Every structure is written in C-alpha cells, then in structure tokens.
Chains A and B, each alone.
Chain A
Amino acid sequence: MRWPKLGLVLSLLCLLSVLTLHASEIDYVGDVKPIFAQHCVKCHNTKTQESGLRLDLGGGALRGGDGGPVVVAGDAAKSRLLAIIKGADDDVGVMPPEGEPLSSDEIARIEAWVAGGAKVPQEEMRLDVESDHWAFQKPTRHTLPNTKHSTSAQNAIDHFVRARLDSDSIAPSAEADRATLIRRMSLDLLGIPPTMAQVEAFVNDARPDAYERVVDQLLSSPAYGERWGRHWLDLARYADSNGFTRDFGREIWKYREWVIAAVNSGMPFDQFTIEQFAGDMLPEPTLDQLVATGFHRNTLINEEGGTDQEQFRVDAVADRVATTGVVYLGLTLGCARCHQHKFDPISQREYYQIFAFLNNCDEPNVDTPSPWEIEQGVVDRRDGIRDQIQGKEDALAAKAEEFTKRQLEWEPTIEPEFYRTLPGPTQAALGKAIDQRDDIEKKLIVELFKTTDVAREAFPLVKEIADLRAIEPAIPTSMILRRRQEPRETRIHRRGNFLDQGGRVEPLVPSVLHPLRSRTRKSSESGLETSATATRLDFARWLVDADNPLTPRVIMNRYWQRFFGRGIVETENDFGIQGIRPTHPQLLDWLAVEFVDSGWNVKAMHRLIVTSATYRQASHHRSELAEVDSFNKLLARQSRVRLDAEIIRDNALAVGGLLSHKIGGPSVHPPQPEGIYLFTQDPKPWNTDTSEDRYRRGMYTYFWRSSPYPSLIAFDAPDSNVTCTRRVRSNTPLQSLTLANDIQFIECARALAREVLSHHEQAEASQAKLMFRRCFAREPNDSEQSRLKTLIDAQRKAYEDAPDSATALIGAEKPGTHDVELAAWTAAARVLMNLDEFITRE
C-alpha cells in the first residue's frame, strides 16, 4: 500500500475520495490549480517564490523548489508536496503555515493528480518571467530628433542631446579652445598629455578635418590600449596578489598584456568577451586565448591556515557571477545569492543556474613563454632541467623511509629563533605529529627539511636538486580557466550557505532575458565537444548575443561615463528596477544599436563620442544653469573631471619628460614612502626600481591588495577586491600631501625645471610660459604669468640665502653653480604640478 501513516479516519476519507476520484479523471486546471490558487500562490508566485517554489503554474510544481523536486509523477508517496500538505515533512511544517488548512478532499485531489502522472497542459509549462522594465526590452534605433542647434551638430549624439536641451530652452556651450580640446582628448584616450608639438600643430591646423585627424592619430597610439585597457582592468578587479590576510604575490600580468593588445588591435567586443569567458573552450585555443580567461581568475585566494578551501572557491565563483552581472548586464545578480532578488525578476534558482555556468572549471596556471623564449630554446632548456630534477626526485623517493627517519630526528632540534621566522602554516604543521599532518603540511615540512645542512649532508641528491632548481630558467606563467573533465554538480545554496545545499540546477540564463541561442554543438570538424547541457562558452555568446538588451547599453553607457564623468544611466552598475532611469533613453538605445551594428567596434564608438559637438563643448560652469541643471545631466557643457589615480602620475611623468613608453611586462616598483608594511601581516617585497621601470605608467605598478601603492589609493584607485565600475573622486588633504611631498612628484618637478631651463636661448618670461604650457597645454593669462614671475623671483631670492637647501631640493649629490636657479624653478614647477587644473581634465 502506498499510503503514508495517517490517522485511520483520514485514510478512510482519502481512500473514499480516491475511490470516487480516479486519477484519470483529475484535471489539473479544473481540479488542482484552484487549490493552489486558494492556499499556496500567495507565497509561491512569480514574484515571491518562497523556497524557490512556484505554484501559480503547473510547471512550477513539476520543477520543484530550492530543496529539490516536490512532485514525483506517478508516485504520491515519494512526492514531498504531499508530505508537506499533510504535515508529515521533517523540515517544513504543515503548509499553508497560516489560514485554512487543506481539506482532506483537496489533499486527495492533489494526490490523485500526482498518482495519475501529474499531467499539466502545455501552457502551464511556460515559466518565463515577463517584465516591461525598459532595460529588458531590446533597444531600437530611434530616428534623429530635430534640434534648433542642428547646424553645429556633428553627429547623431548631438541631435539627441540638443533636442533635450531645446525642450528646456537651454543652448549648448561653445566648443572649447583647441589647446583644451587636445589635452582633453589625449587624457581621455591615452591618459597622457599632448606634447608641445602636438598642441602647436593642432592649434595651427586650418584644415576642416583637423580635429578628426587628431582623434585618429590618438586612436592608433599604443597608449590607447593602456588607457582603455586599464579601464577594463578596473572591471576585471586586476591585482598582483591573492588578497585576504596573507596576500601572497601572484603572476597574471600576461593577462594585462593581453587586454592592452586586444584593445589596441581593435578586437571586436563580442570576441573580446568570448575569449575572456571561455577562451579555453574555443577550438584549439591559442596561448593568448587561454591567457584571456584570466579575467575571471582575478578573484581573491585565501591562504590563511585553517580555511575551508571549498568555501573560498565558492566565494570566488559567486564573485564571478556578481562581476558578470554588474559588468555586462548592469544587474546586481549577487543580490539573489541568498534569496530571491528583492527588486529585479531574478530568482535564487536563476542565480544558481548562472552560477552553474561558471562552476565548471579548474583553475590552473600555465606557462606563457614569449616567442623569443621559445625560439632561443629557453623552454627546452627548462624542460630538460625539469626532467633531470624528476629523475633525482625519483631516486630520492626510493629512500623515503630513511629520509623520514632523519627528518623526525631533526624536527625536535629546531631552534626557537629559526622557528619564529617560519610562516604560520609551517609552524602549524610542525606543531602536529607527522601522522596528524595533511598532505600539504607534510610537504611543507619535507621542503623545509630539505633546506637544512642536515638533509643535504645525509642525501646528496637534495643538494643536487636544489642546484638544478637554482639554474632552472623562470618562464612567466599566467592564471587561467580550464574546463573541468568531470562536471561539478551545482545545487542551490539555501540562504547562500554552501554547506546547506538544496535542489540541483542546470546551467541556464534568467528567463526574463533573451533565450540562450547557441549551444556548443556536436561537431567533429570544429573540434567542439558534444554537450548535453549549456556551457560557459554558450554563456559567453549569450552575453554578446545581438538580442541581449543589456550588454550593449551597459557597455556604451560606461564608455559615455568615461568621456563625460557621468553615465546616461547614472547607476552604471544597476540597470534594474532600482536603477536610475536614463537621462537620454533614446540616445542610449541609439548608441546600443549602433554598437551592435558596427560589429561591436569599440574604437568606432569612442571615435563617435569624441567627435560629437557635445563632447567638444567647453567645461566652464555656467551660472544660469546652476539652478536648472546643477549636475550637468543635460550636457549643456562638458564636465571638469579629476584625473584617475594612475593618470595623475603618468601626466606628471610625461610633463617632466620622464615617462617610459614601454608597453607590457611584469609589474614594477616605483618609489613609495617608507613604512607601508607596518600595517600588514607580512611585509611585502618592494625593491624600488632605479632604471626605466621607475618611470613606467601607473597601471604597471605592482598592486598588493592588502597594502596598495599609497598614492594610487589616495586618489581613489579601486582596491581590486571586487569589480569597480566607477571610481569615486574624492578631494582630500592626503591627496594634497601626496602631490606636494611624495618623492616621485618631486622628481617630476625637478625634471620639468631642468627641461625648461635647457632652453637657454629663451628669455625668462618665455621659459616661464613654456613651463606653464607643458603643464596645461594652454597659454597662461596675464594674472597667471605675473604670479608665476613673482613666485620664481621670490624662490630664487630665498634659495640664494640657503644654497644648501637648493642643492637638497634638486636632489644633487654635491653643490653646483646652477643649484639656486634650478631650485627656484623646481619650486615653481612643484606649484604648477599641484594645481587643481593639473590633475583635472577640463
């Protein structure tokens, strides 16, 4: 008998009901759906899916909830739904928790429906969520609106912006002067200022397309890939260390190189995305495509002793989901990790369905030799040495018993002074008896023992191996994703707790968005594998599917934000219900369509924006707009935008003539103030570079997550722990101290003074003007010119009385004849390099 234990009366009643209600006679819509509607749907509907269960549609009952299936068709006894409504489930109290309980007849009807195979009509199976929210609708290309200011409009952007201004009877601002324009474009596109020659050429270029020529020249500069690559690295949460408490270094700068190269080569954004999400799954992936998957390896790794590695792996996958949501979809998917999204139509189940796409990779590091390292046989030599080492390791392994014996004799002889110098995990391992140690701990101690004279005397092989290791060439590595051979099962984590796993889910995309079109198909020719379920590669393609209503809007909006200081959607990371509506919805849609139609051509989009009249406006505040548009949302002018942290230093280095133009390579160590590591668990290695690497662009500065380079952080560089879609721009006294006193900026001021004074042929007033123009591209006005003269005169006079100070300021080893002059000009350069305008793109 299939009946669970029930009261006699109840069973009889039910039996009686079933006798009258034959399974075949039960109709879902007529008999069962009304019961659900009356008792269940209040909490189990599209919006409120308690426990991830929907009962507003029959398909929801068949799909089940976070805890797994609730209906087993044809087997009422195994169907949890029945147990729950009968109050016989161990975990869940009787349902419904409030209100009238189900009658025995109602229970019997549901039971009969299940027993009869739980059939529901097709229309009950459509569990798609619909939403009329603007951002979930596919954008269309609106016709260009008319504007009173159409004659000076440069392109479509201006039509949309000016039509909106017209409606408030606001006139756009005039075009900025050429010196301002070229500095603006250079800083926005390259992150370095224009040279004097470039400024002069542009100011004097009478050709009608002079502006466009500059734009094209800048877009083809390799510095463009650095500038826009760094923007992408903000999103990728790139850093050079693992984060959390120990924060050891990591090697993933090849990924940074890949990003720069991809941006410079004009790689279409869809390909750029697919390679980063699933480069490893492309047919016969190149090394570059593998390196590209470093995008999602920029997550933190906790190396603290006593951590549950699965917990932090799960956190890393969750970070990948959240990052993907914010970066591509402008959705706060992370909110649905623990519960149904509070505002957007994303259920917790759907969160874990996305999670499932990203939960199926191993996380190895690969060798990433440069072509020259392969050609010159470095890799072969390394492999040869590794073979030799392996041979010796095998020989050593044959003596394992003797080795362990010696090790155990040695352990008690460790001196406390030595012990104190050991890392925490090693200490912890030493504290345990050998049979209590896990494999990692055993290895730690074995390796430690091998470094001792005791071991090396007893086992000559140990020394031979160490000697080989010392000459083994180091090949750069990079962190990548690799598809797992054996798929990992993904289950819903109840309340976001990975220790409390519920129902199993398959990789799927949220139903409110466009469907997953491409499946990795079976094809022996293309080399793609058969796949029953959707893969990470499918997911990548879905992100950049032409039907995706979000990605092109979100990406275009973020570009817009970089060029104007604010997005068309101000909440650049939230296009959901709670996000702020676009100021220019038609413009955003137009841009999104244009982006997709251009073949996801990023450079073309940047060109489009910077050639608009809207971009070219002056940034001066207009008093008549202070009340009506104090935030400049309508774009009746450009905005003055403080430079990003890296660019502040790059700009100073460039103005001083010190900037290195070398692209790529490992991270570098420019000078930083003393005492950074007093506040971290472990001091970090920081051997200050003395050669060219001292003056590399800020994006190459080694970034320790627990103790980032101080001047970067002072100017709001992201902490790189989670994705950063917009940097805040604070204005603090610590910034003033950094610019005024940090040695790296003093070096720039010295260099600028030397450079200016090297123009002996010029009169002092011209030299002063030259210094000003190098800093700001524009000419000084009369007040500025005269203040600068007063400053230089006063400093000269002061340093004449204190020649030692002059020598110190210019950083000379011993006094020289020109110290006072150089010091006076260095002091003046230092002033200019501290001005608001110097760190602002106007």
Chain B
Amino acid sequence: MALGSMALGSMMDRGGAFAAEPTADATNPLAAKPPHFAPRAKNVIFLFMAGGPSQLELFDPKPKLQQLEGQVIPESYVENQRFAFLKKDAKLLGTRRKFAQHGESGQTVSECLPHIASISDDIAIVRSMSTDVFNHGPAKFFMNTGFNRFGRPSMGAWITYGIGSEASDLPGFVVLQSGPRGPRGGSPNWGSGFLPTTYQGVPFRGKGAPILNLDNPAGIDAARQGDFIQAVNDFNRLRLADTNDPEIATRIAAYEMAYRMQSSAPELMDITDETQETIDLYGADPAKPSFANNCLLARRLVQRGTRFVQLYHTDWDHHGNPDTELKGTLDKVCTEIDQPAAALVKDLKRLGMLDDTIVVWGGEFGRTPQGEPRDFLGRDHHIEAFSMWLAGGGVKPGVTIGKTDDLGYFPVEDRVHVHDLHATILHLMGLDHLKLTYRFQGRDFRLTDVAGEVIQKLLA
C-alpha cells in the first residue's frame, strides 16, 4: 500500500470521517486540488473595510435625498426596520460630497476616492449589496462566513479547503490588518469553523515577526535550527518505521514546511526589494505598517501562491461623534485606502496578474440615508443596500450593477445578497457553491447556507 493513501487514512483516523478530502499530496492537506470546473481566477484579495463605509458618500449619489434633507423619512421605509441607534423619526441626510463620472465606462465615484475613480474602467461597482444583520460583529461574521454567529468556516477557509493552495512555503490563507484597531469579532472572522484548523486564516503582523513564533528562540541560529529540524525528522522517521503510523509522515512534512516558512515569510515581508516606483505607486513606507504596505504584501503573497488574502482596515463606523463623522474622519480613512487599493489593481494589471486575481472591496454593511441626531454628521448601520466593488479574475470591468431607490434605502434592481456574492466568488474560483460542502452534525454545510445565486451580470 502506498504511503500516500495510508497517510490519508490516518488523517481521517485522527480527524474523524469528516477530515479533508483526498489530496494530491496526502502529507500536505493544503496541496493544490482541482476545482469543480475551469476557474476564471486563482486567487482572492479581499479588502475588508471594517465598520461599514457610507455608500452615499462614495458610490451611490442620491439627488432626491439631497432635496429631502431634514425631513422625517416616510414611514413606509422604516416600518418593520431595526436599527442599532436610530429612532424611526430620524431625518434624512443628503451627502456633502460631489460625484462625477469617470473613465470610458463613465462610472460614478465621489471626490473622496480619486484614485479608485481612476480605475473605474477596471472595476465592477455593486450598488445593491444587502445583508441580514445590523451589528458589527454579527455582520462581519455574516460577510465572512455566511452566518451571523461564531463558528462557521470563513470564505478563505472554504476556498483553501476546496482547492488548496499553490504556496509551498507560505500559508494558503493570510490575514493582514491596518488602522487604529483590529476588526471586531477577531479570529472567528477568518476561522475554519468545523473545518480542520489547517484551513484557518493565518494573521501576519505588520511589525516584528509576521507569524507568531516564526523567529528562532534566543541562542538558536540558522545552523542550529537546521540541526534541530534534521534531528526531529530523523527521530520521527525512526518512530514511523516502528509504529507505521502515517500521521508521523505528515508531521515530518509540517516541520519541513515550518522551516521553509521561517525564511520565506520574512523575505515576503521585506518590501525594500521593490522598486521605488512601485513603493510610490502604493504610497507604501517600508518603515511603517499601513494599509498601503499591506496591499503591496497582498500582491507579493499572491505572487508566491497564497490562495486567499484578506486585508482589514479600520475604521469606517461613521456615526457622527467627534472622531467618527462624515467629514474629516471620512476623509482620513479614504486617504488611507484610496491610493493603495487603486495601486493594487493597477499593479496586478501591469504584472498580468489581474486576470487571475479577484480583488474585492467593501465592508460588512453600509450606512443609512437618515442622519443620526449627534453632534456631527453621521449615519447609522444600513443593511438593505450598500456598495462594494470587485475587479479582475473574470469580473466584468467597467460596469455598475444594481440600482437603489431615490433615497438609497432599498435596492430596486439586481439585489445582490451576501450569499450571492459568495456564490459568485466561488464560481469564479471554479467552485460550485452547491457542491462545496462539509458534513457536520449530520448536515452538509456550505458557505452559502441554503441560498446564493451566481450573479451573471458580474461575470466578464
């Protein structure tokens, strides 16, 4: 019997009948696996704008809202609606931002995002996104896992579970973070839920060693670490011969991979080997962690075969307090992300990687047409309609999908639910969202739960 199939058997022996599906290389559950059908894309970079960016300030202009500013929202809109902070009698708030059409496609983007406006012809803007839950934590889980509570696998975990990763020296699913604080909800946002932990996102830190425990302990240099790995594997081989437990072969492979990661991860994080022109394109600064650095790192990760990269940037939660208002605070966060996000698309394109890479930009929800009764301009959480954009990887460029009503409250055309977005991304990756399942507690689970339709209009 071949060692490969024995190793698989053992993996199931340890992990239960629901452990990973057969892999090409049974000692590496992250080895690349064939998708369900020919894919349009190989990688995903998800720029997660944590807190809920205001679509009404950025992508979805509403002249009517402007006219009705100060009036109480008609009751027909808000009956049966729930809000985090607003009362039903909240007053409508027009935007203070100017919008213009850009590029040959003539897509509408506000003055807040001049760089993203400059890639209008490369992106598809979805104005009719909708989600189910209106608090940050649950909504983030929903956007990441298709479920509003902890415990389900995230999209990156599902995808690496489905098709593995091309990276031999780096994790298949990496998470980076920038902004004043981490995303609400923490690790379950990139968790593997009931899938094996092999598939969970690995947070890379912007400062120091990117991965926990990546550095050798004090007193161990590269040569001693080499001795160490060699000795560990020698002893493990002796035990493998004695017990015949193929799990030990998997462990040997894991140590080899860990050792390679110790040199590949720092090499990845060191962006000083990029040209000054590239660093300037992103507005990165090798000495200072930032969203710009992370965008550049995302490109480097994808170049090295990492399947799914997720960048969190906080904070877009603009309620209207001194530090969370839709003027200066919004300007600040837009400045932080605008140039780098656009640079990522431009850079991928000129390197010929955009065709293989889906870039997704958006948050867990949007913001209400009503203003909040606070000291400064602000809006509450809005789940019925908000905007996201996607680029590359088989996404149709230069189109706007979906339309909202005059107030920007509900979608009136082509509503795209979070489950639909998930189904579409999986589809572009060559995965059928109905077939990518995992049996847990007697039920076949999937990322899209019991819903989800591929958005044909988004496909190139």
State the A residues within 8 Å of B (CB). 243-247, 300, 302, 304-308, 315, 326, 332, 335, 342-343, 416, 419-420, 427-428, 430-433, 436, 499, 565-566, 570-571, 573-574, 576, 578-580, 619-623, 626-627, 630-632, 639-642, 673-682, 705-708, 710, 713-714, 716, 719, 721-722, 726, 728-738, 740-743, 746, 781, 783-784, 787, 791, 794-795, 798, 802, 805-811, 823, 827, 830-832, 834-837, 840, 842
Chain B interface residue bracket vs A: 35 or more
Interchain CB contact under 8 A, A784 and B238: yes
Interchain CB contact under 8 A, A787 and B85: no
Q: B151 touches which one: A335, A716, A722 (CB < 8 A)? A: A722
CA distance A455 to B434 in the complex (A): 62
Interchain CB contact under 8 A, A679 and B212: no
Q: A728 touches which one: B16, B187, B216, B381 (CB < 8 A)? A: B16
Known contacts A675-B208, A719-B151, A836-B247: does B221 contact A805 (CB below 8 Å)?
yes
Interchain CB contact under 8 A, B212 and A823: no
**Interface check B288, CB cutoff 8 A:** no
Interchain CB contact under 8 A, A737 and B214: yes
Interchain CB contact under 8 A, A244 and B208: no
**Interface check B184, CB cutoff 8 A:** yes
Q: Knowing that A430-B321, A576-B442, A730-B198 are A-B contacts, what are 12 other residue pairs whose CB atoms are under 8 Å apart, sorted by A's residue number?
A: A245-B185, A302-B137, A315-B149, A432-B373, A565-B14, A626-B9, A679-B183, A707-B186, A737-B214, A784-B235, A831-B235, A835-B236
Known contacts A306-B135, A740-B228: does B182 contact A681 (CB below 8 Å)?
yes
Main secondary structure of the interface of A (DSSP, over half): loop
Residue of A nearest to B225 (CB): A740
CA distance A705 to B187 in the complex (A): 9
Known contacts A730-B15, A731-B254: does B217 contact A431 (CB below 8 Å)?
no
Rounded to whole Å, the gap between the CB of A188 and the closest CB of chain B is: 16
**Interface check B77, CB cutoff 8 A:** no
Instruction: List B contacts of A733 (CB < 8 A).
Output: 171, 254-255, 257-258, 261
CA distance A741 to B16 in the complex (A): 29
CA distance A632 to B9 in the complex (A): 10
Q: Of B121-129, B199-207, B355-363, which stretch is located at the interface?
A: B199-207
Interchain CB contact under 8 A, A432 and B184: no
Interchain CB contact under 8 A, A640 and B245: yes
Q: A811 touches which one: B218, B262, B324 (CB < 8 A)? A: B218
Q: Mark B170-191, 1 if CB is under 8 A from A, else 0.
A: 0100010100011111111001
CA distance A623 to B5 in the complex (A): 13
Instruction: List A contacts of B216 (CB < 8 A).
Output: 741
Interface residue ranges of B347-398 to A (CB < 8 Å): 372-376, 380-381
Interface residue ranges of B187-243 to A (CB < 8 Å): 187-188, 191, 194, 196-198, 202-203, 205-208, 211-221, 223-225, 227-228, 231-232, 234-236, 238-239, 242-243
CA distance A399 to B113 in the complex (A): 52
Instruction: List B contacts of A416 (CB < 8 A).
Output: 322-323
- 19 A-B pairs whose Cβ atoms sit less than 8 Å apart in the complex: A244-B138, A245-B185, A304-B135, A315-B149, A565-B13, A620-B242, A675-B207, A706-B185, A713-B197, A728-B196, A729-B15, A730-B29, A733-B257, A734-B171, A741-B214, A743-B217, A795-B227, A809-B220, A835-B232
Interchain CB contact under 8 A, A678 and B443: no
CA distance A716 to B16 in the complex (A): 14
**Interface check B433, CB cutoff 8 A:** no
Instruction: List A contacts of B19 (CB < 8 A).
Output: 728
Instruction: List A contacts of B134 (CB < 8 A).
Output: 306
Interchain CB contact under 8 A, B244 and A623: yes
CA distance A783 to B241 in the complex (A): 12
Known contacts A621-B244, A808-B219: does B227 contact A427 (CB below 8 Å)?
no
Instruction: List A contacts of B144 (CB < 8 A).
Output: none
**Interface check B441, CB cutoff 8 A:** yes
Residue of A nearest to B238 (CB): A783
CA distance A698 to B217 in the complex (A): 22
Instruction: List A contacts of B213 (CB < 8 A).
Output: 673, 710, 734, 737-738, 740-742
Instruction: List A contacts of B82 (CB < 8 A).
Output: 308, 499
Residue of A nearest to B197 (CB): A730
Instruction: List A contacts of B203 (CB < 8 A).
Output: 678-679
Interface residue ranges of B69-94 to A (CB < 8 Å): 82-85
Residue of B nearest to A839 (CB): B251
Name the residue among A335, A623, A674, A678 with the largest chain B CB count within 10 angstroms. Answer: A678
Known contacts A416-B323, A679-B203: does B14 contact A721 (CB below 8 Å)?
no
Rounded to whole Å, the gap between the CB of A720 and the closest CB of chain B is: 9
CA distance A246 to B29 in the complex (A): 34
Interface residue ranges of B2-26 to A (CB < 8 Å): 6, 9, 11-17, 19
Instruction: List A contacts of B287 (CB < 8 A).
Output: none
Instruction: List B contacts of A245 (CB < 8 A).
Output: 135-137, 140, 184-185
Q: A721 touches which one: B188, B250, B374 (CB < 8 A)? A: B188
Rounded to whole Å, the gap between the CB of A498 and the closest CB of chain B is: 11
CA distance A237 to B191 in the complex (A): 17
Known contacts A304-B135, A836-B239: does B206 contact A732 (CB below 8 Å)?
no
Instruction: List B contacts of A306 (CB < 8 A).
Output: 83-85, 134-135, 380-381
Known contacts A315-B149, A707-B186, A737-B211: does B443 contact A578 (CB below 8 Å)?
yes
Known contacts A621-B244, A827-B228: does B206 contact A678 (CB below 8 Å)?
yes
Q: B184 touches which one: A304, A714, A806, A830 (CB < 8 A)? A: A304
CA distance A681 to B247 in the complex (A): 38
Interchain CB contact under 8 A, B217 and A809: yes
Interchain CB contact under 8 A, B375 and A431: yes
CA distance A578 to B215 in the complex (A): 46
Rounded to whole Å, the gap between the CB of B25 and the closest CB of chain A is: 13
CA distance A707 to B212 in the complex (A): 13
Residue of A nearest to B210 (CB): A675
CA distance A735 to B232 in the complex (A): 14
Q: A719 touches which one: B150, B218, B324, B443 (CB < 8 A)? A: B150
CA distance A308 to B135 in the complex (A): 9
Instruction: List B contacts of A726 (CB < 8 A).
Output: 16
Q: A641 touches which one: B14, B231, B235 (CB < 8 A)? A: B14
CA distance A726 to B202 in the complex (A): 23
**Interface check B337, CB cutoff 8 A:** no
Interchain CB contact under 8 A, B211 and A566: no
Interchain CB contact under 8 A, B443 and A680: no
CA distance A740 to B214 in the complex (A): 9
CA distance A472 to B150 in the complex (A): 37
Instruction: List A contacts of B202 (CB < 8 A).
Output: 734
Known contacts A674-B208, A827-B228: does B150 contact A722 (CB below 8 Å)?
yes
Interchain CB contact under 8 A, A431 and B320: yes
Known contacts A787-B235, A831-B232, A835-B232: does B212 contact A710 (CB below 8 Å)?
yes
Instruction: List A contacts of B205 (CB < 8 A).
Output: 675, 678
Q: A566 touches which one: B16, B83, B208, B234 (CB < 8 A)? A: B16
Residue of B nearest to A747 (CB): B217
Interchain CB contact under 8 A, B84 and A305: yes
CA distance A708 to B186 in the complex (A): 10
Instruction: List B contacts of A678 (CB < 8 A).
Output: 177, 182, 203, 205-207
